[in-house]
Amino acid sequence: MADLQALRRADLELAQRSLRGDEDAQAAIFDMHCRRVHRVAFRILGSNRDIDDVIQDTFLEIFRSLARYRGDAQLSTWIQSIAARVAMRVQVSDGNATLVEAST
């Protein structure tokens, strides 16, 4: 439990640094979570066709929304939910309503 609380505090500090314009913090958020965003988008879209756009749109939304990140959940969980919403918007706008199951 203490480790999870420490992780959430570190996530919140990273988010706050990013909000203050710390480019290293912004780069760290991107580097730490880009692969996760790609996986979420691929699972929803089922192809790499729109993945780059979804990744870009996801991180734009993340950085615009960081002020609302409260640290109640891990930053990775919060980012994953944003990635899913962005990918689903793309999927709906394309008229494709199928979810591709992740292969593990």
- Global confidence as pTM: 0.82
Residue 78 lies in a domain: yes
Structural domains counted in the chain: 1
Rounded Cα–Cα distance for residues 27 and 38 (Å): 16
CB 88 within 8 A of CB 45: no
Residue 101 lies in a domain: no
Interval 46-97: pLDDT, tens: 887 789 999 999 999 999 999 999 888 899 999 999 999 999 998 887 665 4
Domain that holds residue 71: 2-94
The domain that holds 25 is classified in CATH as: 1.10.1740.10
